Amino acid sequence: MDGAGLTRPEAITRALPLLDSVPDPLDTRHGYLDLLGEVEREPPGAVQSLWESTVGSALYDPVQSLGRRVFTALRPPVSRLAIPPGGRVLDAGCGPGDVTAELGSAAGPDGLALGVDVSDSMLARAVRAHAEPNVGFVRADVRRLPFADATFDAVSCLAVLQLVPEPFRVLGELVRVLVPGGRLAILVPAPAGPLSRRLSRLIPNAAGLTLLSAEELAESLHAHGVTTVHTRQNGPVLSVLASGSA
């Protein structure tokens, strides 16, 4: 039972030992563990505000589906994460939870996949569509992940870093919660060459978008202790697979 007397989702019960601090009482009344409550946060950019709106959350799935058909690099690289049976996996910025569910399938019934997002509307969709005993969701800020160091065998962060403030701080958090030798998959929109520089100048700050280059991502990951970083540019999409020393 949670603090309100409601039945706690099994995945959340399994996630509690992974937290760096367990709140009392627990707020799981919406089917996910809410660690933010009514705390006021920074206003999101225009793009993030759209996705978090009622209309945007409804459009998110078909837009993502279309994008993944157009850009094959947008397909979640689940197989490349080498998730062990019974492993623990984090999907940072999980949105409606479709990737989290795939990670849970890869980890198996004895494993655990947790999706973290700041948007209550996205998490509500994720819970309705994908909550399972081994797939759970947490409302938290990816700039301050609520998990202990070296918790997850694999971490996924797909099409998220361009939307959040302080993306390099987020990278540090993703590395921090990864076990030694674990794998980290990142995907961001990153138009190559002169187009990227033009877009970086044209996109207003109000849109809340940050375009990161392969060099910037690799340098930041190395600075946070990651030893191996592979990047691949596929049209306007940059994918990164990284792993730390075992």
In angstroms, the Cα distances linking 115 to 137, 207, 228 are: 5, 25, 25
Label residue 159 left, alpha or beta by phi (over 0 means left) and psi (-120 to 50 means alpha). Answer: left
Are 126 and 95 a contacting pair, CB within 8 Å? yes
**What's 114's domain CATH number?**
3.40.50.150
| Residue 70 pLDDT | 47
| Residue 234 pLDDT | 80
CB atoms within 10 A of CB 175: 20
Residue 13 lies in a domain: no
| Residue 164 pLDDT | 86
Domain count, the chain: 1
Residue 146 lies in a domain: yes
Residue 217 lies in a domain: yes
Written as six digits, the tokens of 13 are: 């019960």
**What does pLDDT average to in each consecutive run of 10 residues of the chain (246 residues)?**
70 97 94 85 52 54 50 63 96 92 96 95 94 98 97 94 90 97 91 60 54 90 94 86 83
Residue 89 lies in a domain: yes
Global confidence as pTM? 0.84
3-state secondary structure 105-139: HHHCCCCEEEEEECCHHHHHHHHHHHCECCEEEEE
| Residue 140 pLDDT | 97
| Residue 83 pLDDT | 96
Domain that holds residue 240: 75-244
